Amino acid sequence: MSKKVAFLQGNEAAAHGALYAGCKFFAGYPITPSTEVAEVMSAELPKVGGKFIQMEDEIGAMAALLGGALAGKKALTSTSGPGLSLKQELIGYGCIAEIPCVVFNVMRGGPSTGMPTGPSQSDVMCARWGTHGDHAAIALMPASVQECYDMVVRAFNLAETYRMPVFVMPDEIVAHMRERIEFREPGELEVIDRAAPSVPPSEYKPYDTTFGDVPPLAAFGSGYKFHVTGLNKLPDGFPTTKAEYVQAEEERQLRKVYAKVDDIVEFEEFQLDDAEICVVAYGSTSRSARYAVNEARAQGIKAGMFRIKTFWPFPDKQIKALADKVKGFIVPEMNLGMCSIEVERCAQGKAQILGINRVDGEPVNPEQILEKMKEVK
Amino acid sequence: MAYDYESRIRPGKLPHIWCPGCGHGIVMKGLIRAMDTLSLKKEETAIVSGIGCASRLPGYMDCCTLHTAHGRAAAFATGVKLARPEMNVILVGGDGDGTAIGGNHFIHACRRNIDMTYIIMNNYIYGMTGGQFSPATPTGHKASTTPYGNPDPAFDIVKLAIGAGATFVARGTAYHANQIDKLIAEAIQHKGFSVVEILDDCPTTYGRRNKYKSVVEMMNRLKDVAVPVKAAEKMSAEQLEGKILTGVLHKVERPEYCDEYAKVIERAGGNK
């Protein structure tokens, strides 16, 4: 039997990826350029007995999302820059209370209302540092319509595995362009469901680390009764200000992600074996970068691309290793230098770093990247 | 009837954080009596709150409890209820949490008529942060941020709830303790979004600033201003001047949100 194929937008593909992953709950608020995700979910979720709700505002959507997730559903929301800002307090709630969910954030121009229909990549730091307090972050960067589908499936797996909100962050170009995609067959992609508690309700504690750094989360309404709070808490979920608990819990919530960084971080190395110039790119910008690298190779320039697929945690180890090998990094992005900061941090002065930064609503084009290669010394 | 208070309270979680003279404990006892009367199963009941003194209530109750962020109880609870309509979902919180930062979620929960019960403990003040004025603080009264008297007009929470579409709205007071459980029980039994405002007292941050000499005086004020809605029918406008109506003030039938969403699923063919 041939595979089901379709010609879809990134946003539409993301919704179908969520359904493949077993998403049964969507809470959102209309915002350009992500609204198609909500539209598809509103049509498709009730067909599989799932629930869609359009909330009264962005933070309300994040709250309902966390409520639905706590009631045991795989839960998705979609938003864009201003909405991501408004959701931040409760993204932090999802982090500290350890509630799995997926936030699909389409990057448009900013700050504030910015350029609602223009592409951007300027939310990457907002995903990492937008909510207050120390916390880990996982953010995936699709560069194609197929990746919107596949990465949403993976985001659900990561959310359920690490018990936290996970971001998928296409730029507006990836979210709105149309490409041929394949709907995945059942079993073709891994789908991870939430680990159920192995103890009876009478013995259950929602943050019992005897079960490891990611304790199983029971669902409200499943026979388990427990307490959830945004305060620093004890293993039983109740608030504490005891220094030893607070310190240990905060450290565990970082460790649960950063100890598994090799499992989480995905990337693509393109023409990097003998490269002297490494273009570090993500999202639609990586498509221009690939074109530029091919052109450079045709001209005899030893260029390659490191494509970031997992932006957070940042691929520190890989960039550090590349810094020992290459003369220079070129970091094209649709912001005024966000990925560049991370590359600089990892390169530790061992290689030249040249940014190409556009915030005029136009993509970085291959010619700009080729031109920039001449500056690598 | 004898009520089983102890079995509804989480072992080891008392004493509570509330100040001597605060009415929140009276409301919690009323909630326990209501839950006991209705034999609500602990595993099938979620109590959801925001932030503030009143919002600490869920932690003391032995059931599924969710202490959310400031003002967001109604939105979290909407997610829980829609995901699991078979659960009993009860919201608790204060006047600042519910009508200021949470005001948008409050009115939209009323509008949706989603089958949950919201108990608002109105003590006219932000207690936990030390006594700042809330949208329920009467005009002219003193708070830590209205040292010259409050210039803001106050919400009438009952009218707000009715106007926004809640299908059951009641009001009681912390003085009329024996009425609280009956109002809450009737609210929980009502199909749709039900609001129970309990006029409460905060002797620590509100009473002292507003010349109440004692908790007893604050409680006596609640006793004096409250007029049961039935009794009010026989009173003149002059007699009702300065009084506050208590009891079940609004009760209508209207389609409930989760039921309506079940019809959406039906129309989409999702029940196959």
Token reading at B166 = 């809640």
* pLDDT of A372: 98
Instruction: Give the integer Cα–Cα distance in Å for B59 and A353.
Output: 52
Which of A49, A57, A221 has its CB closest to that of B104? A57
Q: Output the CA–CA distances (angstroms, integers) from residue A112 to A240, A333, B23, in the order listed.
A: 36, 19, 43
Q: What is the mean pLDDT of residues A337-357?
A: 98
Q: Give the whole-number percent of chain A exceeding pLDDT 90.
A: 98
pLDDT at B179 over 80: yes
- For range A317-338, the mean pLDDT: 98
Interface check for B42 against chain A (CB to CB < 8 A): the answer is: yes
Confidence of residue B252 (pLDDT cuts 50, 70, 90): very high
CB contact under 8 A, A225 and B42: yes
Please name each of the domains of chain B with its CATH number: 5-230+237-268 (3.40.50.970)
Among residues A58, A68, A80, A61, which one has the least CA distance to residue A14? A80
Give B45-92 pLDDT, tens digit per residue: 999 999 999 999 999 999 999 999 999 999 999 999 999 999 999 999
The token duo for B222 is 């609640």
In which band, very low, low, confident or very high, does the pLDDT at A26 lie, cut at 50, 70 and 90? Answer: very high
Widest Cα–Cα separation across chain A: 69
A230 in contact with B, Cβ within 8 Å: yes
Give the residue on A whose Cα is nearest the Cα of B270.
Answer: A47
Nearest CA-CA partner of B113 in B191, B45, B178: B191
Exposed, middle or buried by CB within 10 Å (0-12, 13-18, 19+), for A241? Answer: exposed
Residue A42 main-chain phi, psi, to 5 deg: -65, -30
User: b/e for B141-169, b at 16 or more Cβ within 10 A?
Assistant: bbbeebeeebebebbebbebbbebbbbbb
Residue A236 falls in which region: left (phi positive, over 0), alpha (psi -120 to 50) or beta: alpha
Residue B93 pairs with which residues in a beta bridge?
Answer: B120
Q: Tell me how crowded residue B217 is: count the other CB atoms within 10 A of its CB.
A: 13
B42 contact residues in A (CB cutoff 8 A): 225
Residue B272 scores a pLDDT above 90:
no
In angstroms and rounded to an integer, the radius of gyration of the C-alpha atoms of chain B is 18
Q: Which of residues 305-324 of A touch B (CB under 8 A)?
A: none
Q: Is the ipTM of this complex over 0.90?
A: yes
* Across A123-144, average pLDDT: 98
Nearest-by-Cβ selection for A60 from B62, B105, B269: B105
Query: Which residue of chain B comes nearest to A238, CA vs CA?
Result: B59
Tell whether A43 lies on the interface with B, counting CB pairs under 8 A: yes
List, for residues A198-239, the tens digit of each pLDDT value. Answer: 999 999 999 999 999 999 999 999 999 999 999 999 999 999
pLDDT of A178 over the 70 cut: yes
What is the average pLDDT value for chain A, to the nearest integer?
Answer: 97
Residue A3 confidence class, pLDDT cut points 50, 70, 90:
confident
CA–CA dist B250, B169 (Å, integer): 5
Q: Are B80 and A220 a contacting pair at CB < 8 A?
A: yes
Residue of B68, B107, B108, B267 to mutate for A, most A C-beta atoms under 10 A: B68
Q: Where in chain A is the domain with CATH 3.40.50.920?
A: 267-373
In tens, the pLDDT along B113-155 reads 999 999 999 999 999 999 999 999 999 999 999 999 999 999 9
Residue A291 reports pLDDT greater than 90 = yes
* Cα–Cα dist A27/A33, whole Å: 16
A267-373, CATH topology level? Rossmann fold (3.40.50)
Q: What is the pLDDT of residues A69-100, one digit of tens each?
A: 999 999 999 999 999 999 999 999 999 999 99
Give the rounded percent of residues in chain A with a pLDDT score beyond 70: 100
In the A/B pair of chains, how many CB contacts fall below 8 A?
141
Look at chain B and count its residues.
272
A22 alpha-carbon distance from chain centroid: 18
Predicted pLDDT at A1: 58
**pLDDT (0 to 100) of residue B2:** 84
Residue B272's Cβ-count burial label (10 Å; 0-12, 13-18, 19+) is: exposed
> Stretch B2-9: mean pLDDT, rounded?
92
Pick the residue from chain A with its C-alpha nearest to B64.
Answer: A225
Q: Which residue in B86, B108, B268 is closest to A221 by CB distance?
A: B86
- In the structure encoding, which two tokens stand for residue B139, read together? 């005009």
pLDDT tens per residue, range B223-237: 999 999 999 999 999
Residue B271: predicted pLDDT: 84
Enclosing H/E stretch for B121: strand B117-122
Domain with CATH 3.40.50.970 in chain A: 5-182
* CA dihedral over A266, A271, A274, A277, signed as positive or negative: negative
Is residue B227 within 8 angstroms of chain A, CB to CB? Answer: no
Residues in a beta bridge with A261: none
* Overall average pLDDT of the A136-147 stretch: 98
pLDDT for A2 beyond 80: no
> Whose CA is closest to B158, among B214, B255, B212, B229?
B229
In angstroms, the separation between the Cα of residue A248 and the nearest Cα of chain B is: 22
- CATH superfamily of this structure's domain A5-182: Thiamin diphosphate (ThDP)-binding fold, Pyr/PP domains (3.40.50.970)
Q: Looking at the partner chain, which of A66, A73, A75 has a beta carbon nearest the beta carbon of B76?
A: A66
Tokens 């210039």 -> residue? B151
CB A59 to CB B72 under 8 A? yes
